[in-house]
């Protein structure tokens, strides 16, 4: 009886250890994650090749970005338009300035001008346009989103195809970076914005990965809505640093937050001791890496993103399966390779152009 009890206990203990999230060699795991995102991106086909020119002849796509006052959206639209021009179909960007009435007008225009697709791009949430999207669908249009959902999030029913982004992958990379840079002793302040839908799984992936690498390490989440970045990120970061002076890494999930984090570090006298790493590859933040104010930024080439988005939209019209995630590599920029991003930095340099040849072959253009 005692033996049975002992062996049961041993089995239970083994099971418990096996199910613990902590990795066997967390430092090696963290380094492996980082190494995978340091290499120059190579093109991996996101699906089977298809004759895009034939299937897209006479097709019309209208894309509504969340706002054309955001440089990210301008560059994404440029790349999408360039990909569409290569294939040879009508592609229109609905220029707007973050106004819901302009988005509604865009959808009405797509219906009345007999477009085939309405695409909501660069962060525009389809839920705010529910009735208009239903009307567009009833008129026979297909609906897509580009660069909005995380790969773990299902799209709402009024959307046919989604070009999803690997935010959770970026989250794991940020956590691994903080762990590796602090030699396995991170005390992290994560700055998120829960009002932006994909930031919820993004923040969670950082938290989970940190717990996996280091179950006992401290972490804190500062949640600031986008409209209050300018007034709350600096004060919130300052307060967090004052309340816990042992914080050694700050992870703002979107890199534009960094311009409010750096003053908080300066004013609390923490610059140098507390490092910053983030995600997006926005040029002014890449410049901040060159100037030594930010340690690392995960860049995503908007050239790749634009071509990958058009690929997914064409697959929707050509009856091919949806792509699981936008074929956009995440690349680590730090002091070692920051010059490859340009001086001053821009959205496209540093990623190579393997995507151009890759997509052309995939679409049977050559």
Partner 1 sequence: MTTLDLTTTNPLPKAKSRFTLKTEAERFALVAAWLLLIAIFGFLMPDSFLSWRSFSTLFGSQAILVVLTLAIIIPLTSGDFDLSGASTLTMSCMLIAVLNVKLGWPIVPVIVVALASGIVIGAANAVFVLYFRIHSLIVTLGIGTFVNGLILWVSNSQTISGVSMDLVEWVIINRFLGIPLAFFYAMILAAIIWYALEYTIPGRKLLFVGRGREVSRLNGIDVDRVRATSFILSGLISAFAGVLYAGMTGSADPLSGLNLLLPAFAAAFLGATTISPGRFNAFGAVISVYFLVTGITGLTMLGADAYVQNLFYGGALVIAVSLSQLVRNRQPQDFS
* Positions that interact with partner 1 (CB under 8 A): 69-71, 74, 220, 223-225, 227-232, 234-236, 238-240, 242-245, 256, 259-260, 262-264, 266-269, 282-285, 287-288, 291, 293, 344
Helix (H) or strand (E) holding 330: strand 330-333
Q: Of 182 and 346, which has the nearer Cβ to partner 1?
A: 346
> What 3-state class would DSSP assign to 247?
coil
Residue 191 Cβ vs partner 1, minimum distance, rounded to whole Å: 11
Residue 220 Cβ vs partner 1, minimum distance, rounded to whole Å: 8
Q: Of 135 and 349, which has the nearer Cβ to partner 1?
A: 349
| Total residue length of the chain | 366
CA distances from 40 to 8, 43, 86, 172, 331 (A): 50, 10, 24, 19, 8
CA angle centred on 260, ends 259 and 263, rounded to 5°: 95
Q: Of 141 and 285, which has the nearer Cβ to partner 1?
A: 285
Tokens matching residue 356: 């151009």
Q: Report yes or no: 170 and 298 within 8 Å, Cβ to Cβ.
A: yes
Q: Of 168 and 348, which has the nearer Cβ to partner 1?
A: 348
- Per-residue three-class SS string for 227-246: HHHHHHHHHHHHHHHHHCCC
Residue 126 Cβ vs partner 1, minimum distance, rounded to whole Å: 24
Q: How many of the other CB atoms lie within 10 Å of CB of 128?
A: 12
Residue 121 Cβ vs partner 1, minimum distance, rounded to whole Å: 16
Residue 94 Cβ vs partner 1, minimum distance, rounded to whole Å: 17
Return the CA Rg of the chain: 22
Residue 97 Cβ vs partner 1, minimum distance, rounded to whole Å: 9
Q: Of 126 and 192, which has the nearer Cβ to partner 1?
A: 192
Q: Of 128 and 267, which has the nearer Cβ to partner 1?
A: 267
């Amino acid at each position: 009886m005692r033996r049975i009890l002992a062996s049961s206990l041993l089995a239970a203990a083994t099971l418990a250890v096996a199910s613990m999230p902590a990795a066997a060699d967390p430092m090696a795991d963290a380094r492996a994650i980082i190494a995978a995102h340091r290499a120059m991106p190579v093109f991996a086909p996101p699906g089977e090749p298809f004759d895009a020119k034939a299937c897209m002849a006479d097709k019309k796509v209208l894309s509504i970005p969340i706002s054309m006052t955001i440089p990210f959206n301008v560059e994404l639209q440029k790349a999408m338009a360039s990909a569409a021009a290569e294939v040879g179909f009508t592609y229109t960007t609905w220029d707007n300035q973050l106004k819901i009435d302009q988005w509604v007008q865009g959808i009405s225009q797509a219906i009345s001008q007999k477009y085939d697709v309405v695409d909501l791009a660069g962060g525009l949430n389809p839920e705010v346009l529910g009735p208009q999207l239903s009307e567009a669908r009833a008129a026979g249009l297909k609906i897509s989103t580009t660069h909005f959902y995380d790969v773990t999030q299902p799209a709402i029913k009024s959307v046919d195809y989604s070009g999803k982004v690997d935010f959770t992958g970026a989250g794991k990379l940020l956590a691994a970076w903080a762990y590796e840079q602090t030699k396995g002793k991170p005390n992290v302040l994560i700055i998120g914005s829960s009002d932006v839908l994909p930031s919820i799984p993004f923040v969670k992936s950082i938290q989970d990965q940190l717990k996996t690498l280091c179950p006992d390490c401290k972490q804190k989440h500062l949640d600031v809505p986008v409209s209050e970045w300018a007034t709350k990120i600096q004060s919130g970061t300052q307060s967090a640093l004052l309340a816990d002076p042992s914080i050694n890494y700050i992870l703002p999930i979107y890199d534009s937050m960094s311009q409010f984090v750096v003053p908080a570090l300066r004013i609390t006298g923490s610059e140098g001791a507390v490092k910053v790493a983030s995600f997006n590859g926005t040029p002014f933040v890449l410049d901040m890496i060159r100037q030594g104010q930010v340690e690392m930024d995960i860049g995503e080439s908007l050239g790749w993103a634009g071509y990958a988005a058009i690929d997914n939209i064409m697959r929707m019209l050509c009856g091919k399966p949806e792509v699981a995630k936008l074929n956009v590599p995440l690349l680590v920029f730090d002091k070692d390779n920051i010059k490859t991003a340009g001086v001053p930095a821009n959205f496209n340099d540093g990623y190579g152009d393997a995507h151009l040849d890759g997509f052309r072959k995939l679409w049977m253009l050559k």
